[in-house]
Amino acid sequence: MVPLYFAMLVAYGSVKWCKIFSPEQCSGINRFVAVFAVPVLSFHFISQNNPYEMDTKFIVADTLSKLLVLVLLSVWAILFKGGLDWLITLFSLATLPNTLVMGIPLLNAMYGDFTQSLMVQLVVLQCIIWYTLLLFLFEYRAATLLIKNQFPGSTAASISKFEIDGDVISLDGRDPVRTESEIDGNGRIRVRIRRSTSSAPDSALSSSMGITPRASNLSGAEIFSVNTPAPLHEYHNGNADIAFGNGDLGFGYRSASPRLSGYASSDAYSLQPTPRASNFNELDTTTITTTNTPFWVRSPVAGKVYRQQSPAFSGVRMVWESPGKCNGGGGERQGCKDVVGEREISFRDSSKFPVAEEEDPKATATGQDMPRTHVMLRLILTMVGRKLSRNPNTYSSVLGLLWSLISFKWNVGMPSLVKYSIKIISDAGLGMAMFSLGLFMALQPRIIACGTKRATMGMGIRFICGPILMSAASIAVGLRGVRLHAAIVQASLPQGIVPFVFAREYGLHPDILSTGVIFGMLVSLPVTLLYYILLGL
């Protein structure tokens, strides 16, 4: 284990003290590790493991312990209002250790070569089953947040179908998402989810006003570059804060055409660096009648553009554009600001949606309906499938398992050219993974990012509750001797990297998972040695 920690220490010192690598260079190294080193390392271990000689009791014990944690957390979340957010975080802390990078070399040194096969079996299950389940929970959370924010109350129950454009990879909020909704004559809602654009030339606003849209200099936080002096609400996401106002526009009906009162069409799609304030607010004083001439009113929910239904109008079309990261682009972009330096990783929660001051979020969530089960399931499975299809570890795990099934079934050897090409990268995989962890630690503003109280809670769950539940499940299935000891020590390994990556992407307690990764790496060696000594008595 000393060589692995040496690689991590060298990386930490090269950034923290010697300033050898810049944050951009660290990002390139981490990208290589994520795309090549770790996937090839996974393929190397999995392809060499005989799947026909898997330890059934060991796998059942590990699976039972994870299911036990999931059931207990589900009961807690339902009966004690713990919530889905904490269920996901606590499940990640208690059940998903760093088995590939830390488990294989550590258990091999403690109990012998046979533990490598056991750890590889757990790695396969983690990559194919448990990480997929975790991703499913994250996408379910993201979908429910989107639905609650855009279809409050009983409206969501009328959604009959979600159509997702091919370029929408996830609902994690890292990229702005635009939704278009249509209501048919039966009151059923069909929602189309698209990638956000800075302007919407096909929307009802430009068509009804007769405005020819031009490119906007604003971010994806707004559909149209129409600004009012309304107070700003902050939306936190990733490394950037996105601020936008309540000056949203809707469609109603009045007896006369709207008077723009000096509001020029150039204001709607301004190319000015800073859009000018508009007197558009005076349109809020219009009254609603039953005639069919459209007029403009302020929408109470930020981010929506919708058309109200009248007796002469058979359908409704809504357009909503979510705030997301401010990506690329030259010049200053209104509504977006960088809130952290290059070397800091932001831990702001992207699940916070803007809510009007007079609204009570708890009251809003109480009467919230959701679409039918099969509609939600199709949406979530589509998002999970697209996310997994762009994860190199998915391919490495599946291909490694398929090759091992073929290889050990018909005694087929891998061609030497392919074998040694993979071996060159996989040999560097462990060292590069630990080196990448060292870079990650050095780039953090502090080791304990979540505070002492939450860090203590996380370490207790990781190093005490996890091993206790694993030992109970192992004893229940009849696991004894060295394999029981290996199962308990494996459960006390530091926090896995993948759950932290998901937590950061979806903005769900990334500070806690970051502390679990960084601080867990520092204390894991003495903790696992303590378990090793106590179990050997």
Residue 396 or 296, more confident: 396
The two structure tokens encoding residue 329: 């682009």
Between the alpha carbon of residue 291 and those of residues 112, 207, 309, 311, 315, the distances in Å are 82, 19, 11, 9, 16
DSSP labels for 100-164? Answer: IIIIHHHHHHHH-THHHHHHHHHHHHIIIIIHHHHHHHHHHHHHHHHHHHHSTTTGGGGEEEEEE
Of 393, 490, 499, 390, nearest in space to 46 by CA: 393
Q: β-strands 159-164, 189-195: how paired?
A: parallel
pLDDT at 8: 93
Of 157, 202, 161, 160, nearest in space to 178 by CA: 202
d(CA 288, CA 71): 52
The two structure tokens encoding residue 29: 């190294």
d(CA 133, CA 251): 41
**CB contact set of 5 (below 8 Å; sequence gap of 6+):** 434, 525
pLDDT at 199: 34
| Mean pLDDT in residue range 192-205 | 58
In 44-176, at which residue ranges do the beta strands (DSSP E only) sit? Answer: 159-164
Q: What are phi and psi of 224, to 5 degrees?
A: -120, 150
Determine the 3-state secondary structure of 118 from DSSP: helix
d(CA 73, CA 91): 8
pLDDT at 363: 42
Q: Which of 253-262, 302-311, 492-501 has the highest mean pLDDT?
A: 492-501
Q: Which long-range contacts (CB under 8 A, 24 or more apart) does 12-18 make?
A: 12/438, 12/439, 12/441, 12/442, 13/442, 14/438, 14/442, 15/438, 15/439, 15/442, 15/443, 16/442
Helix (H) / strand (E) containing 424 = helix 416-443
d(CA 415, CA 58): 32
pLDDT at 444: 87
Largest CA distance in the chain: 89
Beta pairing partners, 194: 178
- Asked if residues 149 and 289 have their Cβ atoms less than 8 Å apart, the reply is no
Provide, rounded to the nearest whole percent, the portion of the chain with pLDDT above 90. 53
pLDDT at 320: 53
Does residue 361 surpass a pLDDT of 90?
A: no
- Asked if residues 292 and 253 have their Cβ atoms less than 8 Å apart, the reply is yes
Alpha helix segments (H runs only) across 227-292: 265-268
Would you tell me how many other CB atoms lie within 10 Å of the CB of residue 251?
Answer: 22
Please, which pLDDT band fits residue 116 given cuts at 50, 70 and 90? very high
Of 495, 489, 393, nearest in space to 441 by CA: 495
Provide, rounded to the nearest whole percent, the portion of the chain with pLDDT above 70. 68
Per residue in 315-347, pLDDT (tens digit) is 455 555 555 444 444 443 334 433 333 333 333
Q: What angle do CA 4, 9, 15 make, to 5 degrees?
A: 135
d(CA 491, CA 480): 16
Q: Which of 181-195, 260-274, 337-351 has the highest mean pLDDT?
A: 181-195
Please, which pLDDT band fits residue 174 given cuts at 50, 70 and 90? confident
- Asked if residues 41 and 470 have their Cβ atoms less than 8 Å apart, the reply is no
- Asked if residues 467 and 69 have their Cβ atoms less than 8 Å apart, the reply is no
Q: What are phi and psi of 223, to 5 degrees?
A: -75, -45
**CB contact set of 163 (below 8 Å; sequence gap of 6+):** 190, 191, 192, 193
For the ranges 340-349, 361-370, 434-443, 505-514, the lowest mean pLDDT is seen at 340-349
For the ranges 57-71, 162-176, 228-242, the lowest mean pLDDT is seen at 228-242
Q: β-strands 249-254, 240-245: how paired?
A: unpaired
Beta pairing partners, 293: 254
Per residue in 275-295, pLDDT (tens digit) is 444 444 433 433 444 444 343
Of 184, 161, 131, 195, nearest in space to 376 by CA: 161
Q: β-strands 177-183, 316-321: how paired?
A: antiparallel
> Is-above-0.95 flag for pTM?
no
pLDDT at 216: 35
Q: What are phi and psi of 179, to 5 degrees?
A: -115, 140
| Mean pLDDT in residue range 163-169 | 90
Please, which pLDDT band fits residue 23 given cuts at 50, 70 and 90? very high
Please, which pLDDT band fits residue 185 given cuts at 50, 70 and 90? confident
d(CA 376, CA 112): 47
d(CA 114, CA 108): 7
Mean pLDDT of the chain: 75
d(CA 378, CA 140): 11
pLDDT at 197: 63
Structure-derived torsion over alpha carbons of residues 49, 50, 52, 54, reported in degrees to the nearest 10? -40
